[in-house]
Amino acid sequence: MPEIDWPRPPIPANEAHRLRAIERYKLGGIGREPAFDRVTRLAAELFDVPMSLVSIIGSDMQCFRGACGMDATGTPRDEAFCAFAILSDEVMVVPDTHLDPRFIRHPFVLNDPFVRFYAGAPLRIGGLALGTLCLVDSKPRSFGAAEQRRLAALAETVVDMIELRVDRFAAEAHRQRTVEERELLTLTVENVSEGVALFDGDLRLTLWNEAFCELFAYTPDEIREGMGADELMRLTARRGELGPGDPDLIVAAFVASIKASTGRDIEVQRARRVLDVRRRTISGGRFILTVRDVTHDRQIARLKDELVSTVSHELRTPLTAISGALGLMASGAAGALPERAGRLVTVGYRNAERLATLVNDLLDMDKLQSGKLSFNFASGDLGALLAEAVEQNQPYAERFGVTLDLVLPDAPVAAHFDHLRVMQVVTNLLSNAAKFSPEGGQVRISLGVDGDTARISVADDGPGISPEFRKRLFDRFAQEDGAHQNKHAGTGLGLAISQGIAQAHGGGITLDDAAGPGATFHLTLPLAGPGEH
């Protein structure tokens, strides 16, 4: 049987964009959908035709996403009447295929289904015709302007369905991702040793693990999804574990804190446990609580502090005696010493002094932590204190070939402070700056006023402080690694003690991250109030 030949439909100029739109709207491939089947049944009934199709014209195939009166799922594109219909903005009508040269020799005209009538309305989305809603009959028929308008209107309904369908797919994909993420989060939370609880933007509990319940001793009946953070906190407050006072007032303060800040760390003291509770705000106004049992850590820290305190107190008296005796020997009070013996006594005296300094630092740290460090506050001029500190520390700076340069304001700067303790802080800053400065360097000390605060600044020309160490700068026993640090070993307590003293005055010490080269520290202290001058 000779092959039938008929005119093939041309390719639209915007074909590449059209095919990408088909993929974007997930219309590619073969497969009918019930919603589109219902539209074709409605179209067939409205226009009294045996066949109706929702046809999508792909690169090689015409795919039927909906069909009435036809079992096929598609045809080659070359055989698609609809491939001609997408070339026009209007409804394409073929009243009688036997009278149309494009279709008179078409296989679907000469063979089953023996098409004699065709009407196709383009399905246009964003100016691109992706396919058609078409009507097919095996008998010729007329199709007037009114009918064409109705078919075009029905085609617009199909376009709306396609767009809603994509939205539905996106919503379903989002829901599926949400389910998967929640499953992953739940699995992760259940497999961490810390207690974890997640709250939504309305402060309602959405997720928690068994460790969270166990650490707070919540029973299964007490905790449930959707309960408010205030309800959960009230359970703990009523047991007295959030401090003394009215539980409702305590809870109200906690809720206000959640709304006002992005994070907070507290310790909850239970009967036999100490819990480290940390709150962090995350996206969407949600927040997460993590709970860790730090009972053992606190016990170890307390034992260490007690050991350090005991040893320091026991060492102070004999060290004072040893240092005093060596000092007298070095000064010749016990008679002239041979040269070698004199050198050994001097070395011993210096090391005894260093050990005494360490013991004094340990005792100061212990008193700061226990709140027992005594202060004698009095009004005074900070400028005069700085001048005295520079004079006292100039010999120390000269050992390193460093000069101390003091700049003071014209007027006195009055503050209410403990002269001895603030001198201790300034001396620590000056000695650090001097020993880390290069030979021939300069340490710059200045005093200024910012509002109701006095600011003492100490800047050096040294190597500065690494970003990694800045986070531990004021920790006890913190020392930076590096060649320049190894030359100037210390206790690692000076800045921690200085920070504690400054904070006891209502001020603080900060490292200026913007200043450089070298390091610049700022000591801030409140100015004297009315009547304190």
Query: For the residues of 24-85, what is the DSSP string, one character each?
Result: HTT--SS---HHHHHHHHHHHHHHT-SEEEEEEE-SSEEEEEEEES----EEEGGG-THHHH
Instruction: Give the three-state DSSP class for 393.
Output: helix
DSSP H or E stretch at residue 173: helix 145-190
C-alpha triplet 303, 305, 309: angle, nearest 5°: 115
Strand duo 414-418 + 274-281: pairing: unpaired
Peptide bond between residue 7 and the one before it cis (omega within 30 degrees of 0): no
Q: What token pair was written down for 52?
A: 């109706």
Residue 486 pLDDT: 44
pLDDT in tens, 32-72: 999 999 999 999 999 999 999 999 999 999 999 999 999 88
Residue 487, pLDDT score: 47
Owner of token pair 């506050």: 377
- How confident is the prediction along the chain (533 residues), in pLDDT tens digits per residue? 355 677 888 899 999 999 999 998 888 877 899 999 999 999 999 999 999 999 999 999 999 999 999 988 999 999 999 999 999 999 999 999 999 999 999 999 999 999 999 999 999 998 999 999 999 999 999 999 999 999 999 999 999 998 888 777 777 777 777 666 666 566 565 666 788 888 888 889 988 888 888 888 898 888 999 998 889 888 888 888 888 888 889 888 888 888 888 888 888 888 788 888 888 887 777 888 888 888 887 787 777 666 666 665 666 667 677 777 777 787 777 777 787 877 777 777 677 766 666 666 666 666 666 677 788 899 999 999 999 999 999 988 998 999 999 999 999 999 999 998 899 899 989 998 998 899 999 999 999 998 899 999 999 988 888 877 777 787 766 666 554 444 455 566 788 888 889 998 999 999 888 766 788 999 999 998 765 65
Phi-psi region of 353 (alpha: psi -120 to 50; beta: other; left: phi over 0): alpha
- In the sheet with 195-199, reading across from the earlier edge strand, the strands are 205-208, 195-199, 287-293, 274-281, 263-269
Rg (CA), the chain: 43
Alpha helices in 376-487 (DSSP H): 382-399, 419-435, 467-470, 483-486
For the stretch 388-425, what's the b/e string if a residue is b when 16 or more beta carbons lie within 10 angstroms of its beta carbon? Answer: ebbeebeeebeebebebeeebeeeebbbbbbeebbbbb
Look up residue 102 and give its two tokens: 């494009």
Give the tens place of pLDDT for each residue, 112-156: 999 999 999 999 998 999 999 999 999 999 999 999 999 999 999
CB contact set of 134 (below 8 Å; sequence gap of 6+):
52, 53, 55, 81, 82, 85, 118, 119, 120, 121
* CB 462, CB 526: distance < 8 Å: no
State pTM to two decimals: 0.43
Place of tokens 């279709």: 103
Contact 102, 7 (CB under 8 A): yes
Angle, CA 210 vertex, CA 205 and CA 211 arms, to 5°: 100
User: Which CA distances in Å does 196 have to 139, 164, 268, 326, 351?
Assistant: 72, 39, 15, 59, 51
Query: What's the pLDDT at 483?
Result: 42
Asked whether the beta carbons of 435 and 409 are under 8 A apart, the reply is: no
**What pLDDT is recorded for position 479?**
64
Q: How many CB atoms lie within 10 A of CB 192?
A: 11
